[in-house]
Amino acid sequence: MTIEPTVGHPPSAPEPNGDGVKRLYVCGITPYDATHLGHAATYVGYDLLVRAWLDAGHEVAYVQNVTDVDDPLLERATATDRDWRELADEQTELFRSDMTNLRVLPPTHYVGAVESIPLAVEAVERMVATGAAYRVDTPDALEQGSPGDVYAALSVDPDFGSVSGWSRDEMLEVFAERGGDPQREGKRDALDPLLWRVARIDEPTWRGGELGEGRPGWHIECAIIAAHHLGLPIDVQGGGNDLLFPHHEMSESHLRVLSGRPGAVRLHAHGGMLSFDGAKMSKSLGNLVLVSRLVAAGEEPTTIRLALLQGHYSEDREYSGAVLDEARNRLALWRRAVSAAPEGGRAAEEAVLKAVRDAVRANLDSPRALAVVDEWALGVLGGSALPDGGAATGDRAAPVARPGQDEPGGLVADTVDALLGIDLGA
């Protein structure tokens, strides 16, 4: 019994790892701003995958990076007169506490970009040596006679473009706004991505061996962290759908070139973007809803998690106060039903387990899973407590004494806990 999400790019050449371990790599945060609901939706989505794999008896190896040095982080630190390392540490801690509050099972390894720089240096040196990368004249380099920035030569990778399936025009359209530098002079191709940025004035740098002092590009970081800590092939590479191109396209290209194997990633799965009252949630628009702020305002994290599960992970979706109200009412409904579950209802509870499990295994279909539990709860309560109205509206959904596994309601409580990460108990 395997869990195979069906959204995303189909694997080009799957080869079994042979050890039964499921390998998941999810692109992590750049820690310069607290976790907003869009991030949370992504990580809660992949948490369903982890739970589904564990439920199916797989061992799971899950790696997430932390981009703890990057241009946006450095810019934010400068703008707010902070030390970039302190800012990164503080925001990484806040992110982890948000994830704990949301009951996201922690990755096997959180890996920082900074600690991975020696791996990146070794990989980029190898790409230069084999002609898969080249140097570009860098007049503003800190050191005179610097060997220059290093770029990947995409022309050596015949499968480039297979992750997104986009045309060259489509790629060029978003490349610049997503961190690329199509205009950079001296590049062989406008789309060639940066692998190593040599030292500039007032920028942190690290020893780069033959590359000179500098720091790695973003795509090579994820590629080498994934390859080193998980091994290839990776079963699922995940992230928000804004990472499809260029980030995942470039990362997999680097993995192909470095490993010499076409099927470095079996499946790319992308999470949808969250919008708030009609506009995409983004830092530039200033409409971020922060998990930590909702919790500080008294919202129960379980309600926030449930609100995120009301939409399918892969779909762009809307967040609003009404979505949170719906989750609050749903949580109250489920808790009342678990408390009121009748003796002799075991068969119905087993049916809930099976249907929720089937829904999660069908490409992490959380809306369907929630509907299954709703139906059971309404059945228990005699249809008297619809989630979107009536007596339940505005309930704070006080946690209930959680029934034991063999007591009425216990199997449903365990099901939503294990598969959906929703804890109904006190």
- Dihedral (C-alpha) 30, 36, 39, 44: value to the nearest 10 degrees? 140
Tell me if residue 66 falls in helix, strand or coil: strand
CB-based contacts of 237: which residues, under 8 Å, 6+ apart?
24, 25, 26, 27, 226, 248, 251, 252, 265, 267, 268, 269
Residues that bind Zn ion (CB under 5 A): 27, 222
For Zn ion, the closer CB: 50 or 222: 222
For Zn ion, the closer CB: 27 or 332: 27
In the complex, what is the shortest distance from the CB of residue 383 to Zn ion, in angstroms, rounded to a whole number? Answer: 47
For Zn ion, the closer CB: 27 or 117: 27
In the complex, what is the shortest distance from the CB of residue 22 to Zn ion, in angstroms, rounded to a whole number? Answer: 19
What are the DSSP calls for 238-269, one per residue?
A: EEEGGGIIIIIHHHHHHHHHHH--S-SEEEEE
Distance separating alpha carbons of residues 214 and 151, to the nearest angstrom: 13
For Zn ion, the closer CB: 116 or 302: 116
For Zn ion, the closer CB: 222 or 360: 222
For Zn ion, the closer CB: 272 or 345: 272
Question: Angle at the Cα of 311 (from 307 to 317), degrees rounded to 5?
Answer: 100
DSSP state of 283: T
Quote the tokens at residue 58.
């797989």
For Zn ion, the closer CB: 88 or 392: 88
In the complex, what is the shortest distance from the CB of residue 222 to Zn ion, in angstroms, rounded to a whole number? Answer: 3
For Zn ion, the closer CB: 218 or 276: 218
In the complex, what is the shortest distance from the CB of residue 65 to Zn ion, in angstroms, rounded to a whole number? Answer: 6
For Zn ion, the closer CB: 253 or 303: 253
CB 421 within 8 A of CB 103: yes
In the complex, what is the shortest distance from the CB of residue 270 to Zn ion, in angstroms, rounded to a whole number? Answer: 12
CA distances from 117 to 26, 124, 128 (A): 19, 10, 16
Quote the tokens at residue 75.
């810019």
In the complex, what is the shortest distance from the CB of residue 422 to Zn ion, in angstroms, rounded to a whole number? Answer: 28
In the complex, what is the shortest distance from the CB of residue 409 to Zn ion, in angstroms, rounded to a whole number? Answer: 41
For Zn ion, the closer CB: 27 or 60: 27
**Of 72, 65, 62, whose CA–CA distance to 27 is shortest?**
65
- Dihedral (C-alpha) 192, 193, 199, 201: value to the nearest 10 degrees? 90
Distance separating alpha carbons of residues 352 and 308, to the nearest angstrom: 21
Query: Where does residue 99 fall: left (phi above 0), alpha (psi -120 to 50 degrees), or beta otherwise?
Result: alpha
CA 243, distance to chain mean position in Å, is 10
For Zn ion, the closer CB: 108 or 320: 108
Q: Is the dihedral of CA 66, 68, 70, 76 positive or negative?
A: positive
CB-based contacts of 264: which residues, under 8 Å, 6+ apart?
227, 232, 233, 234, 252, 255, 256
In the complex, what is the shortest distance from the CB of residue 216 to Zn ion, in angstroms, rounded to a whole number? Answer: 12
CA distances from 223 to 78, 101, 285, 373, 386 (A): 28, 29, 30, 39, 47
In the complex, what is the shortest distance from the CB of residue 119 to Zn ion, in angstroms, rounded to a whole number? Answer: 14
In the complex, what is the shortest distance from the CB of residue 88 to Zn ion, in angstroms, rounded to a whole number? Answer: 16
Distance separating alpha carbons of residues 211 and 325, to the nearest angstrom: 54
What are the DSSP calls for 103-168, one per residue?
A: TPPPPSEEEETGGGHHHHHHHHHHHHHTTSEEEE--TT-SSTT---EEEE-GGG-TTTTTTT---H
In the complex, what is the shortest distance from the CB of residue 417 to Zn ion, in angstroms, rounded to a whole number? Answer: 30
